[in-house]
Chain A
Amino acid sequence: MNVSQSRVSGRQSRVTSPRLRSRARRPAGTGPRLLAAAAGLLVTVAVVQTLLAGVVAVKWALAFAALIALGELLRLNLPGDREAAPIGTACALAYALLIRIGPVPAWQSALQVVAVTGIGMTLGVLPHLAAGRPARRASMASRLLAVAFAAFVFRPLADTPAVIRHWWTAFAVLAVLVALAWLVNMVLEAAVRASVLRARLWVTFTDEVRVLGPLGVAVGSSATLIVFAAEAMGLVAVAVFIAPLLVTQVAFRRYAGIRATYLQTVRALAQVTEIGGYVEAGHSDRVSRLAVAVGRELGLSEQQLLELQYAALIHDIGQLSLPDPIPGGATVLVSPEDQRQIAELGAEVIEQARMLDSVAEIVRRQSDPCRDPAAVGTVAPPLSSRIIRAVNAFDDLVGSSANPSRATAVVGRLRLDTSAEYDPEVVEALARVIAR
């Protein structure tokens, strides 16, 4: 490849990547819209009803609305394209679960809690909208409905003697309720995710638990803390007791930041093979996108998908160790021994990069046939390797062509090889993804 060609290739890959990202971010499907509509309706009803019935303890309602707005303003992007507002959610939960404000019992109704939360969240999201950052309505709706759940369960119980006679009964009830509320939040987020990504609900739910679980523990304990602080010290204390959660938030922000930077670095590493002329421009990006779609179709968890994404992005990195690029860069056209050597070299590079061991293993086994008649008794390659093998072959044969009939023809050809080379399940999943 000469200079001018590789310059063009660089430009092409630059054009494709932003488009990919914006597509991944935009929600689709009816699930999220339904959820947002339900939450909107609930808030409207709550606001109207609260205004008609009269607001109880106006000063506290305003204070909590302000805190919720602040929390929403400080919303947090989490790994895996998620959003949370730990401070806002903790304050809203605390408002739903208030027992006493100083010596005075808290009388606000569940609908007032929903109204205050809804108004606070709306106020908090306005600056984001003004700055051109879109609101994730589905995510906000999940948070609001979780708070509404806690409010509707607890407000009728708030003056039951059995609950509030001892601090430890109150403590136990609060602990159970914050846990349930966070569970509601996670289930709703999982449902939205399953609907948008066409993934399975159980898989997305376990993903949510893994990412949002630890944060939920922090949010729940802070909400409980605020409830007791309000009882002991009044209004000022509430603001002060957000502080521990602020530390949590800062830590999560740093974590999410480095995760994003890391993915960018892996992408840069993938770009190296393209700019070096070893691989056709855009190949790594296309393979990783398609491989993740196929993996999701096959029910992989988010962690497995992440490893698959890393592995797919740099599956050709072993070619850097070759003295000369393979003509055309298509590994499907070279001999199996060479393919295996490239895979082995790539795995060595990845081990050096101290990525997860599984990524190296996926890359190492990517060129092994699904069922090797000559190697009876060996362990079959991991599912992710089989996915990359099929998707890589698909992309090598289709290239950047957008012609659907060509894609169908290539899938047909891969089907012919499912007896030994490619995993039939993977090829069928690929066919379903292509057909969308």
Chain B
Amino acid sequence: MGRLSRATWLYIGVIVIAAAIVTGYGPHRDVAWSRLAVLAVLFLVCESTPTAILPRQVAWSPGYAATLASVVLVGPWGAAIVGLVSAFSLRRGLKPAQRVFNGAMYALSAYAAGRVYLALGGVVGIPPHNSFPQIIGPFVGAAAAHIVANYGMVSVVLWLTSGGESGRRLLNLRLSLPDLGYAVFGLLIAALWSVVGAFAAILVLIPLFVARWAIAQFANQQRAYEATLRVLCQAVETKDFYTRGHSERVSRGSVMIARAIGMRPERVEAIRYAGMLHDVGKLGVPTKVLQKTGKLTEEEYAAIQLHPMRGLEIIKEIGFLDEALAGIMHHHERIDGCGYPMGLAGDEIPEFARVLAVADAFDCMTSTRSYRGARSIAEAITELHNCSGTQFDPAFVDALVAAVERDGWQTPDTPVPPPGERIEAAAHDHDDPAAPLRVMGSR
């Protein structure tokens, strides 16, 4: 969370005071203390081992199940006490302010859930055998209240600390649907309490903990997978010193365009991969062709034109979105139909390919090449506009220009060849719209 603004402190203060009022107000009579203690321990265990979901500050944990079971078993006030325990989570790396906020926030959410449960006709205590299915209505209401309160309070704090962006994304309640599912597990715990006591909670939560173990494995593997993809695109760049970092930047540029035109998150993710791997086919082009000075023979030109297909060949076995594959294959098509490898025109070109083409050319122009210096961003934008409608899709050119003007664009450092190492320098770049490849005999 970094350093907190005054508004954030104020907000945390309000939440904490509200939680203090709620827990102080009671009622403190007729509380099943031993049950409450068991539930509090349970909640603490759940809260101490959360699984991170995106964005990074927010973590999901099966704790919902424990607080909601408390709503049924020990009532709103008991549930609030159980929620407070979150402040003592054994999770490391939590700042005191975060702990206090979490405890107060969970106490308030659980209390709200408990009030809704009572308002909808729920009865506090171990549910008797015949309480099904009447208990389901009040319980789902309580779960929904818990989630809305929790998300609401967390979103505000994220919004206050991160200047607006991630809070807006979090308010998207699609994320909370699985949470509703986890919350319902609280009902299962409460329902079985009459038969096996606290073992009910353990039996219900074991599959969830196993699931979390699997998700942790998944996350490890996902990281290794991303790193391997990155190596794959770095392998391409070993061939030409001056194109180092190109793939990463094209990836970033494509994502900027994709976000600007409002693509769905899964597709943004796919285009990120597509950007990283768009030139992987260059590995199939002989190094001496890529680095040749002067004009190319017809055969060498054909070899370069084949690189999108080569790329497809390398990565088509990876279980990507097909769209990313199509984007990589067609990223050198032109709107006027003069591109390669297929000569598609206009809307025939897949959307991903049109996005990649713009980001690709923009990064090429703003980078230093062995045969010319980097152009300024303004010059590159002018060039993009010049080619808009013939080579590039105007909509995506505008999107990139707008995004670059808003967020800026990090141009690469001028590469300094390390002394002693022999650098093969290319005399042309196939991505460069201002300096198209020249073929022997033409012009």
| Closest Cβ–Cβ distance, residue B306 to chain A (whole Å) | 7
The answer to whether A353 and B133 touch across the interface, beta carbons within 8 angstroms, is no
| Closest Cβ–Cβ distance, residue A146 to chain B (whole Å) | 18
Q: Does A268 sit within 8 A of B, measured CB to CB?
A: yes
305-352 of chain A: CB within 8 A of chain B:
317, 320-321, 323-324, 349-350, 352
The answer to whether A265 and B228 touch across the interface, beta carbons within 8 angstroms, is yes
Q: When each residue 289-313 of chain B gets 1 if its CB lies under 8 Å from chain A and 0 otherwise, what string results?
A: 0000000000100110010001001
Q: Which residue of B lies closest to A240 (CB)?
A: B188
Enumerate chain A residues within 8 angstroms of B218, measured Cβ to Cβ: 251, 254-255, 258
Q: Does B318 sit within 8 A of A, measured CB to CB?
A: yes
A233-B132, A321-B238 are known contacts. Are A353 and B213 too (CB-CB below 8 A)? no
The answer to whether B191 and A244 touch across the interface, beta carbons within 8 angstroms, is no
Q: Does A247 sit within 8 A of B, measured CB to CB?
A: yes
355-380 of chain B: CB within 8 A of chain A:
none
Q: Which residue of A lies closest to B234 (CB)?
A: A352
Residue B227 contacts which of A10, A258, A353 (CB distance < 8 angstroms)? A353
Residue A247 contacts which of B133, B181, B217, B227 (CB distance < 8 angstroms)? B181
Enumerate chain B residues within 8 angstroms of A217, measured Cβ to Cβ: 206, 210
Q: How long is the Cα–Cα vector from A215 to B235 in the complex, in angstroms?
A: 38
Residue A231 contacts which of B195, B214, B235 (CB distance < 8 angstroms)? B195
A232-B194, A248-B208 are known contacts. Are A349 and B225 too (CB-CB below 8 A)? no
The answer to whether A276 and B284 touch across the interface, beta carbons within 8 angstroms, is yes
Enumerate chain B residues within 8 angstroms of A419, measured Cβ to Cβ: none
| Closest Cβ–Cβ distance, residue B284 to chain A (whole Å) | 4
The answer to whether A258 and B213 touch across the interface, beta carbons within 8 angstroms, is no
The answer to whether B224 and A243 touch across the interface, beta carbons within 8 angstroms, is no
Q: When each residue 201-233 of chain A gets 1 if its CB lies under 8 Å from chain B and 0 otherwise, what string results?
A: 000000000000011011001101100110111
309-349 of chain B: CB within 8 A of chain A:
310, 313-315, 317-319
Task: Flag the segment in B80-88, B144-152, B196-204, B251-259 that touches A.
Answer: B196-204
A247-B211, A255-B217 are known contacts. Are A275 and B313 too (CB-CB below 8 A)? yes
Enumerate chain A residues within 8 angstroms of B223, measured Cβ to Cβ: 354
Enumerate chain B residues within 8 angstroms of A225, measured Cβ to Cβ: 188, 192, 200, 203-204
Q: When each residue 56-83 of chain A gets 1 if its CB lies under 8 Å from chain B and 0 otherwise, what string results?
A: 0000000000000000000000000000
Enumerate chain A residues within 8 angstroms of B317, measured Cβ to Cβ: 17, 264, 267-268, 271
The answer to whether B207 and A247 touch across the interface, beta carbons within 8 angstroms, is yes
The answer to whether A272 and B319 touch across the interface, beta carbons within 8 angstroms, is no
| Closest Cβ–Cβ distance, residue A323 to chain B (whole Å) | 7
Q: How long is the Cα–Cα vector from A266 to B202 in the complex, in angstroms?
A: 39
The answer to whether A275 and B129 touch across the interface, beta carbons within 8 angstroms, is no
| Closest Cβ–Cβ distance, residue A236 to chain B (whole Å) | 7
Q: Does A245 sit within 8 A of B, measured CB to CB?
A: yes
| Closest Cβ–Cβ distance, residue A177 to chain B (whole Å) | 15
The answer to whether B228 and A214 touch across the interface, beta carbons within 8 angstroms, is no
257-283 of chain A: CB within 8 A of chain B:
257-262, 264-269, 271-272, 275-277
The answer to whether B214 and A268 touch across the interface, beta carbons within 8 angstroms, is no
Q: How long is the Cα–Cα vector from A277 to B284 in the complex, in angstroms?
A: 7
Q: When each residue 162-205 of chain B gets 1 if its CB lies under 8 Å from chain A and 0 otherwise, what string results?
A: 00000000000000000001101100100110111001101111
Residue A258 contacts which of B222, B287, B315 (CB distance < 8 angstroms)? B222
A243-B188, A248-B211, A254-B218 are known contacts. Are A265 and B225 too (CB-CB below 8 A)? yes
The answer to whether B318 and A320 touch across the interface, beta carbons within 8 angstroms, is no
Q: Does B386 sit within 8 A of A, measured CB to CB?
A: no
Q: When A and B form their complex, what is the total count of cross-chain residue pairs whose Cβ atoms lie within 8 Å?
A: 181
Q: Which residue of A lies closest to B225 (CB)?
A: A262
| Closest Cβ–Cβ distance, residue A144 to chain B (whole Å) | 22
| Closest Cβ–Cβ distance, residue A203 to chain B (whole Å) | 21
Task: Flag the segment in A1-9, A115-123, A376-384 that touches B.
Answer: A1-9
Enumerate chain B residues within 8 angstroms of A258, measured Cβ to Cβ: 218, 221-222, 225
Q: Does A241 sit within 8 A of B, measured CB to CB?
A: yes
Q: Does A355 sit within 8 A of B, measured CB to CB?
A: yes
Enumerate chain B residues within 8 angstroms of A261, measured Cβ to Cβ: 225, 318-319
Enumerate chain A residues within 8 angstroms of B438, measured Cβ to Cβ: none
The answer to whether A247 and B319 touch across the interface, beta carbons within 8 angstroms, is no
The answer to whether B206 and A233 touch across the interface, beta carbons within 8 angstroms, is no
Enumerate chain B residues within 8 angstroms of A272, measured Cβ to Cβ: 232, 235, 280, 283, 314
Q: Does A34 sit within 8 A of B, measured CB to CB?
A: no
Q: Which residue of A lies closest to B65 (CB)?
A: A244
| Closest Cβ–Cβ distance, residue B213 to chain A (whole Å) | 6
The answer to whether A352 and B283 touch across the interface, beta carbons within 8 angstroms, is no
Q: Which residue of A lies closest to B185 (CB)?
A: A244
Q: How long is the Cα–Cα vector from A277 to B314 in the complex, in angstroms?
A: 13
The answer to whether A320 and B238 touch across the interface, beta carbons within 8 angstroms, is yes
With A3-B302, A236-B133, A251-B214 given, name 12 new contacts (CB 8 A).
A6-B310, A221-B206, A225-B192, A243-B181, A244-B188, A245-B207, A247-B208, A251-B215, A252-B214, A262-B221, A272-B235, A272-B280
Task: Give A residues with C-beta under 8 Å from B.
Answer: 1-3, 6-7, 10, 14, 17, 167, 171, 214-215, 217-218, 221-222, 224-225, 228-229, 231-233, 236-237, 240-241, 243-245, 247-248, 250-252, 254-255, 257-262, 264-269, 271-272, 275-277, 317, 320-321, 323-324, 349-350, 352-355
24 A-B Cβ contacts within 8 A?
Answer: A6-B310, A14-B313, A221-B202, A221-B203, A225-B204, A228-B192, A229-B188, A232-B191, A232-B194, A243-B184, A244-B208, A247-B182, A251-B210, A252-B214, A254-B215, A255-B215, A258-B222, A261-B225, A261-B318, A267-B317, A272-B235, A275-B284, A352-B231, A353-B227
Which 5 residue pairs are nearest across A and B when measured between Cβ atoms? A244-B207, A251-B214, A354-B227, A251-B211, A221-B206
Task: Give B residues with C-beta under 8 Å from A.
Answer: 129, 132-133, 181-182, 184-185, 188, 191-192, 194-196, 199-200, 202-208, 210-215, 217-218, 221-225, 227-232, 234-235, 238, 280, 283-284, 286-287, 299, 302-303, 306, 310, 313-315, 317-319, 424
